[in-house]
């Protein structure tokens, strides 16, 4: 790829991340808010979010297999965006438990086709310039901040039931952005051949198993935050603009971290970075359990998101990309996102729904989240200090 085409691709990738995470700023923090407005109990909300998250376990390996068979990633990204838009429009027409569960599952299934393929397209496009990843990914954080700042007010004005239509509208700019992406050159594995033995052997190694367990525990700890944080703050008496500002503050901290994450993941080992991030995350949930009613506590609590997500994600991405050889990158990303992210998130959402008890169990739920993050730290202690790159050849 010549320099001009390379710069154009980087801009297109940045806009794609911007659009993707702008939609995510609605789907993640306010889904529980929307389900509560439909009259579902906290247990039902936990179940519905868990069902949605389980489809993110199924989705990444499914779409990775489709991508390998197609030999292309960009068309699959476009398909995921368009299908998600259609499902959100249909979601606006229903309110029964079964219908909402089915459509949320389908939204999640199609939505899961986007990010894993976009990550692989990004890293394949960057090649030796992979240190640019954090800057490109940072555009997603700007999209998240912009939408998170106004979503609470929009839902307050238009009614919380407008959640699916608002999501469909936000998907339109993303559809435009991904339509301009170019397919990068990358190594492919013959889709007619079974998964190589090396892939299964690689994911069974103890350092990688502990990495996945640590990731699952982190995502379990995030589940009550993703499912109930906006609702939690509203029940504590915070105004919609304050809810949006606090959600945006966490992502602003994430943006600042992405400016320097590229250097940090080179200077420090993955093991040390993950342990540090998990330790701070555990303290974050413990503070949220006890001091959420004090605004001045919520500010540092949200600033820790720079470590809980941005630095942890950057370090984890570097680990996964280094751990798997080029012809296994798509499957490696799919395994990481489906088992680590989605698997941990689904289990965490289901448990959070049981523990939340219409807000009465909030303190206990976030304390349990702190314990999960602490257990993730212990698992991270067993990740190898340095990835054995020679094993990937």
Distance separating alpha carbons of residues 349 and 342, to the nearest angstrom: 10
Residue 190 lies in a domain: no
Helix (H) or strand (E) holding 194: none
Give the pLDDT of residue 61: 77
Residue 188 lies in a domain: no
User: Could you please report the per-residue DSSP string of 325-340?
Assistant: -GGGHHHHHHHIIIII
| Residue range 230-279, pLDDT digits in tens | 999 999 999 988 999 999 999 889 888 878 888 898 888 889 999 999 99
- Mean pLDDT across the stretch 109-132? 85
| Residue range 324-348, pLDDT digits in tens | 887 777 678 778 877 888 889 989 9
Residue 148 lies in a domain: yes
Q: What is the CATH number of the domain that holds 147?
A: 1.20.1250.20
Residue 192 lies in a domain: no
User: Could you please report the per-residue DSSP string of 358-385?
Assistant: GGTTHHHHHHHHHHHHHHHHHHHTTS-S
Residue 193 lies in a domain: no
Domain that holds residue 278: 3-183+198-392
Task: State the sign of the Cα–Cα–Cα–Cα dihedral 34, 39, 41, 43.
Answer: negative
Q: How many domains does the chain have?
A: 1
Residue 191 lies in a domain: no
| Residue range 81-115, pLDDT digits in tens | 999 999 999 999 999 999 999 999 999 999 988 98
């Amino acid at each position: 790829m010549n320099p001009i085409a390379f710069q154009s691709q980087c801009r297109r990738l940045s806009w794609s991340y911007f659009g993707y995470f702008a939609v995510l700023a609605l789907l993640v923090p306010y889904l529980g808010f929307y389900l509560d407005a439909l009259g579902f109990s906290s247990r039902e909300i936990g179940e519905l979010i868990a069902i949605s998250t389980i489809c993110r376990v199924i989705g990444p390996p499914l779409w990775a297999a489709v991508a390998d068979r197609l030999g292309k990633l960009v068309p699959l990204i476009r398909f995921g965006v368009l299908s998600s838009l259609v499902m959100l429009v249909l979601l606006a027409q229903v309110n029964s438990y079964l219908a909402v569960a089915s459509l949320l599952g389908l939204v999640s299934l199609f939505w899961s086709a986007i990010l894993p393929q976009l990550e692989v397209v990004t890293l394949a496009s960057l090649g030796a310039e992979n240190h640019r990843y954090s800057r490109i990914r940072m555009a997603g954080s700007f999209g998240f901040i912009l939408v998170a700042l106004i979503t609470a007010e929009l839902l307050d004005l238009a009614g919380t039931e407008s959640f699916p239509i608002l999501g469909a509208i936000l998907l339109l700019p993303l559809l435009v952005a991904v339509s301009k992406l170019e397919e990068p050159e990358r190594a492919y594995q013959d889709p007619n051949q079974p998964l190589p033995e090396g892939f299964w052997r690689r994911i069974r190694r103890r350092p990688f198993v502990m990495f996945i367990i640590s990731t699952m525990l982190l995502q379990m700890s995030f589940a009550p935050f993703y499912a109930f944080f906006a609702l939690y703050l509203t029940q504590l008496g915070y105004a919609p603009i304050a809810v949006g500002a606090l959600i945006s503050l966490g992502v602003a901290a994430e943006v600042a971290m992405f400016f320097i994450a590229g250097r940090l993941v080179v200077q420090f080992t993955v093991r040390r970075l993950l342990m540090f991030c998990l330790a701070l995350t555990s303290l974050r949930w413990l503070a949220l359990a006890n001091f959420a009613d004090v605004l001045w506590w919520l500010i540092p609590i949200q600033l820790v998101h720079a470590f809980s997500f941005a630095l942890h994600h950057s370090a984890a991405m570097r680990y996964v990309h280094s751990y798997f050889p080029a012809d296994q990158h798509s499957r490696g990303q799919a395994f990481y996102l489906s088992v680590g992210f989605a698997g941990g998130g689904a289990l965490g959402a289901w448990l959070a729904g049981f523990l939340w008890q219409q807000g009465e169990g909030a303190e206990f739920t976030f304390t349990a989240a702190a314990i999960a993050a602490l257990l993730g730290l212990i698992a991270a202690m067993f990740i190898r200090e340095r990835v054995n790159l020679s094993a990937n050849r």
